[in-house]
Structure 1
Amino acid sequence: MDTITIVSSLVFYLVIWAFIHVITSNLRSRKSAARLPPGPYSFPIIGNLHQLGEKPHQSFAKLSKTYGPLMFLKLGSKATILVSSADVAREVLQRYDQLFSSRAAPTAAQALDHHKISMVWLPVLSQWRNMRKMCKENIFATPRLDASQGLRQEKLQELCEYLHKSSVSRKAVNVGDAAFTTSLNLMSRTLFSKDFANYDSNSSQELREVAWGVMKNVGASNLSDYFPVLQRIDPQGIMRDTKFYFQRLFDIFDDIIDERLQLRGTSEAKQKDLLEALLDHSIKNESEFNRNDLKHLLLDLFVAGIDTTSATVEWAMTELLRSPDRIAKARAELKEVIGEKEGVQESDISRLPYLQAVIKETFRLHPPAPLLVPHKADEDVEINGFIVPKNIQVLVNVWASGRDPTMWSDPENFEPERFLGSDIDVRGQHFELIPFGAGRRICPGLPLAYRMVHLMLASFIHNIDWKLEDGMKPEDLDMEEKFGLTIQKALPLKAIPVKL
């Protein structure tokens, strides 16, 4: 379809939508409108889209300072509630958890019918409950993760060796790429007992583009979300691109599953990875969990687990390199607790309070999913005297609550020390810090992500110092963000490792 046709169709559909909008707006009860949360004036047709900007989480945070922590916006034809404080988040995700447990699936998440199968987007009904229970028992239970930790240790050792080689050659490391490759292999080893990439290899870059492509498209500002009448023409090509990325991953998964099924018929010993557990479950419960279900679940685990972990590690390293005294403090703790040995074990994490504080502070300032995954109200709910209408999209801006000056002292500053001696954690009970969400829709992969992000960051700083390129000063490091479903650094962090 050429550009003129797309523009003509867009104008036509917007005119029709505007006509319908005017009629329905006039029919709306003045009483119900008066009870909506406050918000900025919305223009006809576009609503508040002009206030979105390239970084919606930041734009929403600024608006919340004027209109409050519970705010109403019109994003095109999509009515949206914005939550921007820990107190209101507690109302939505704890007190009224059941009423807000549904998802508002963006158009891109509907590619290849993913939203009908994915545990992320399914409504809280029997299919979702079965999937959640299966994941808890077969993937994220502590015994399962303990059994597969040896697979992850090999990948962490390879990261240490790569950093050592780079220190010998005095070669600058792209921290984000190294974190992504490590995260990719940690996840592929845990799931499949396979490596998907090597450091400085094109294969790593290709898979990073696929993973980031999925996250970027699902989190993109999509005209088809704001004006559903445009979904059929897909004016930005987001649905087309998402289908491509999904299918690319499904092809990879099909090859791995076929290979594993062939091996299961031989005398070769079973792998102790998560794919084996999922295949066992699928064979026993094929009616409720078939091969297609398995591939969609792997897509969720693979993309979300890799991208969020590597982004968090890159942000943590950036903040530490901007604070030389703090990276020295974290390194000293590692040396005291684990000595000179190369590898950090998963059992060591509980004995590293400062490292944990660094990760918490990184999650506070740079939550991987700044607006979490969109929720939807299953019925009208009254919060703080306002009505949150049935079927409305609800976004929780954890980026804003993490920088709330009423909750945090010096909220813009990176200060891990604020968490020392504090019982605040990231497991969904302390609403000032919920990077994984909370309530029944909390991220099921939290137990694995928690292990991976601590181990990877520890591997980057244990027995290694870092030097910025070209005499750059720590305070000159770029901190700009790139928005998708996850938040990336706009400019990659590059530094030279120095072996101690």
Structure 2
Amino acid sequence: MTVATTLVVVLSRELLLYVLVVYILVSKSLSTIIVVSRKRLPPGPTGFPVVGALPLLGSMPHVALAKMAKKYGPVMYLKTGTLGMVVASTPSSARAFLKTLDSNFSNRPANAGATHLAYGAQDMVFAPYGPRWRLLRRLSNLHMLGGKALDGWANVRASELGHMLEAMNRASREGEVVVVPEMLVYAMANMIGQVILSRRVFVTKGEEVNEFKDMVVELMTSAGYFNIGDFVPILAWMDLQGIERGMKALHKKFDKLITRMLEQHEASAHKPDFLDAIIAASLDDYSSEEERLSTSNIKALLLNLFTAGTDTSSSTIEWALSEMLKKGKILKRAQEEMDRVVGRERRLVESDIEKLGYLKAICKETFRKHPSTPLNLPRISSEACVVNGHYIPKGTRLSVNIWAIGRDPEVWEDPLEFNPDRFLHSKMDPRGNDFELMPFGAGRRICAGTRMGIVLVEYILATLVHSFDWKAADQDNNIMNMEEAFGIALQKATPLKALVTPRLPLHCYLP
């Protein structure tokens, strides 16, 4: 149900009038409003009383905002409840906010997701920019996400990929359909579990894995909603969309899972791992109060790593495979490249990736057309500023429409066409320096898992394409369903299901 429909159903006419009166009374004074309006705000839609432009966003905000940008321009301003929101929809406008004004937009706005899911913004994603956030980031890079740390657990990736290939080979022999996102989440959750906890979190693929996958998708979906209570605080108590009730229930499930992980970790003998490192930081007597980590910080960080680490990469790989199955020539060409570079007598290894130019181009094209985060996680202005001659008030929420930039015909030729060739001779990189292609965001709040995400997508996708021939099991009249489901991470509305056939000798499918 859209925001607009929800409001019509829930709010009576009398209550809406009452809310409007209260809203006017508690808003800034009329004189302040006039002063701000005289300072040239970016153009944007007028919206409605109380809720502003929220009903205009619909169920697919990234698409609605992209359409608005064609009318109002690369920087537009929307009044959303009591808050202002500025949206950047081109590479140059994104650069202005995320590079030139990066320090002014280094914090996140308060919202229900941070409060109810992320332990009151105690995680790395929503935490205020400051000493504790820097500590979380530094520890994560040092022990898991940085280049040296990633090299250190390459054997874990290879081992878990072996388990996944074995399961897929078994499904092939038994004529079973492979549900791609479930298989990917199973492998990635175990990879992350081995690094953080020194153990696989799911020994066998089954009901427990599927429940975890559903929880991750629910978290990413609910955290991506435009919750009315975040924008109109006087309506928050009503929880009109039921979003906060769902978040609280989901948080209890995740907290139970993470608490069990911590208890099992404490009770087991294990080699030093990531969790040991962050627990040591929480006990460091020489750290200041702002730098010392609490139990909530630790739990929230684990939540970040297990959810974002599995969902964003798995959805990107699923989109890539779907596009390749939709256009079989791309799949065949990728396999031919791998057969030349790797051959068909051994399994692909990570060091092969740098020689697979077409495969890397496929990954970049997927990042462009199907960015895992269609709207970058919101930021908020610490001070008033000016962008492109437009006044941006203090406390304005910022969204960068990464999805719109990836489909902008002014930036890309035939942007709706999936064409890896556009990246074959391009030095454009998805690590946040090229604002035409920034699936992980940019600036100081760029996704901490950028390196890991690229490594996982390239290595797992390459291995799946090299190891199997693929046939979609859920095409309707040979038409691949490519509809999106909106959330923080951009899911396929219909999970990819496929029949796979091994291309390599049997020994290549052993863990």
| Common fold: TM-score over 0.5 | yes
Q: 1:299 and 1:134 mapped to 2: Cα distance?
A: 15
For residue 414 of structure 1, what is the aligned residue in structure 2? 418
Q: Shift of the alpha carbon at 1:277?
A: 3.0
For residue 436 of structure 2, what is the aligned residue in structure 1? 432
The change in CA–CA distance for 1:196 and 1:242 in structure 2 (over 3 A counts) is same
Q: 2:274 and 2:359 mapped to 1: Cα distance?
A: 28
The answer to whether the 8 A contact 2:88-2:399 is kept is yes
The change in CA–CA distance for 1:329 and 1:289 in structure 2 (over 3 A counts) is same
The change in CA–CA distance for 1:47 and 1:455 in structure 2 (over 3 A counts) is same
Matched residue type, 2:137: R
The answer to whether the 8 A contact 2:475-2:481 is kept is no
For residue 509 of structure 2, what is the aligned residue in structure 1? none
Q: Shift of the alpha carbon at 1:423?
A: 0.8
Q: Shift of the alpha carbon at 1:113?
A: 6.5
Q: 1:30 and 1:74 mapped to 2: Cα distance?
A: 16
Matched residue type, 1:390: K
For residue 488 of structure 1, what is the aligned residue in structure 2? 491
Question: Superposed, which structure 2 residues align to 1:237-276 within 5 Å?
Answer: 237-263=242-268, 268=269, 270-276=270-276
Which residue among 314, 319, 322 is the counterpart of 1:315?
319
Q: Shift of the alpha carbon at 1:229?
A: 1.1
For residue 14 of structure 1, what is the aligned residue in structure 2? 19
Question: Superposed, which structure 2 residues align to 1:136-215 within 5 Å?
Answer: 136-197=141-202, 201-215=206-220
The answer to whether the 8 A contact 1:6-1:233 is kept is no
The change in CA–CA distance for 1:385 and 1:331 in structure 2 (over 3 A counts) is same
Q: Secondary structure at the match of 1:114?
A: coil
The answer to whether the 8 A contact 1:148-1:272 is kept is no
Is 1:106–2:93 an aligned residue pair?
A: no
Q: Secondary structure at the match of 2:159?
A: helix
The change in CA–CA distance for 1:17 and 1:162 in structure 2 (over 3 A counts) is farther
Q: 1:379 and 1:471 mapped to 2: Cα distance?
A: 51
The answer to whether the 8 A contact 1:64-1:71 is kept is yes
Structure 1 residues 124-170: Cα deviation after superposition (integer angstroms, max 9, x where no partner) = 22222222222222222323222222222121011111221222222
Which residue among 60, 64, 74 is the counterpart of 1:59?
64
The change in CA–CA distance for 1:379 and 1:103 in structure 2 (over 3 A counts) is same
The change in CA–CA distance for 1:471 and 1:212 in structure 2 (over 3 A counts) is closer
Q: Shift of the alpha carbon at 1:120?
A: 1.1
For residue 304 of structure 1, what is the aligned residue in structure 2? 308
The change in CA–CA distance for 1:439 and 1:113 in structure 2 (over 3 A counts) is closer
Q: 1:456 and 1:405 mapped to 2: Cα distance?
A: 31
For residue 348 of structure 1, what is the aligned residue in structure 2? 352
Q: Shift of the alpha carbon at 1:313?
A: 0.9
The change in CA–CA distance for 1:47 and 1:112 in structure 2 (over 3 A counts) is closer
Question: Superposed, which structure 2 residues align to 1:270-285 within 5 Å?
Answer: 270-284=270-284
Identify the range of structure 1 (171-180 vs 401-410) with the bigger mean alpha-carbon deviation.
171-180
Q: 1:384 and 1:59 mapped to 2: Cα distance?
A: 23
Identify the range of structure 1 (198-207 vs 67-76) with the bigger mean alpha-carbon deviation.
198-207
Matched residue type, 1:292: S
Q: Shift of the alpha carbon at 1:6?
A: 7.2
Question: Superposed, which structure 2 residues align to 1:355-434 within 5 Å?
Answer: 355-434=359-438
The answer to whether the 8 A contact 1:105-1:115 is kept is no
The answer to whether the 8 A contact 1:13-1:229 is kept is no
Q: Secondary structure at the match of 1:189?
A: helix
The change in CA–CA distance for 1:153 and 1:23 in structure 2 (over 3 A counts) is closer
Identify the range of structure 1 (198-207 vs 301-310) with the bigger mean alpha-carbon deviation.
198-207
Q: 2:272 and 2:343 mapped to 1: Cα distance?
A: 30
Q: Shift of the alpha carbon at 1:200?
A: 5.4
Q: 2:501 and 2:135 mapped to 1: Cα distance?
A: 49
Structure 2: 5+ residue stretches without partners: 1-6, 504-511
For residue 343 of structure 2, what is the aligned residue in structure 1? 339
Structure 1 residues 422-449: Cα deviation after superposition (integer angstroms, max 9, x where no partner) = 1111111000011111111111111222
Q: Secondary structure at the match of 2:362?
A: helix
Matched residue type, 2:200: D
Q: Secondary structure at the match of 1:81?
A: strand
Q: 2:354 and 2:423 mapped to 1: Cα distance?
A: 14
Q: 2:474 and 2:315 mapped to 1: Cα distance?
A: 24
The change in CA–CA distance for 1:431 and 1:249 in structure 2 (over 3 A counts) is same
Which residue among 448, 451, 460 is the counterpart of 1:447?
451
Q: 1:15 and 1:248 mapped to 2: Cα distance?
A: 37
Is 1:461–2:465 an aligned residue pair?
A: yes
Identity %: 34
The answer to whether the 8 A contact 1:370-1:397 is kept is yes
The change in CA–CA distance for 1:196 and 1:134 in structure 2 (over 3 A counts) is closer
- What is the TM-score with the length of structure 2 in the denominator? 0.90
Q: Shift of the alpha carbon at 1:21?
A: 7.1
The answer to whether the 8 A contact 1:159-1:459 is kept is no
The answer to whether the 8 A contact 1:331-1:463 is kept is no
The answer to whether the 8 A contact 1:424-1:433 is kept is yes
Is 1:48–2:53 an aligned residue pair?
A: yes
Which residue among 44, 68, 83 is the counterpart of 1:78?
83
Q: Shift of the alpha carbon at 1:259?
A: 2.6
Structure 1 residues 346-394: Cα deviation after superposition (integer angstroms, max 9, x where no partner) = 3332222221111111111111111110011111111111011111000
Q: 1:245 and 1:297 mapped to 2: Cα distance?
A: 16
Which residue among 128, 147, 159 is the counterpart of 2:133?
128
Q: 2:329 and 2:443 mapped to 1: Cα distance?
A: 37
- What is the TM-score with the length of structure 1 in the denominator? 0.92
The answer to whether the 8 A contact 1:196-1:204 is kept is no
The change in CA–CA distance for 1:93 and 1:466 in structure 2 (over 3 A counts) is same
Q: 1:33 and 1:21 mapped to 2: Cα distance?
A: 21
Q: 1:83 and 1:395 mapped to 2: Cα distance?
A: 6
Structure 1: 5+ residue stretches without partners: none
- RMSD, aligned CA: 2.5
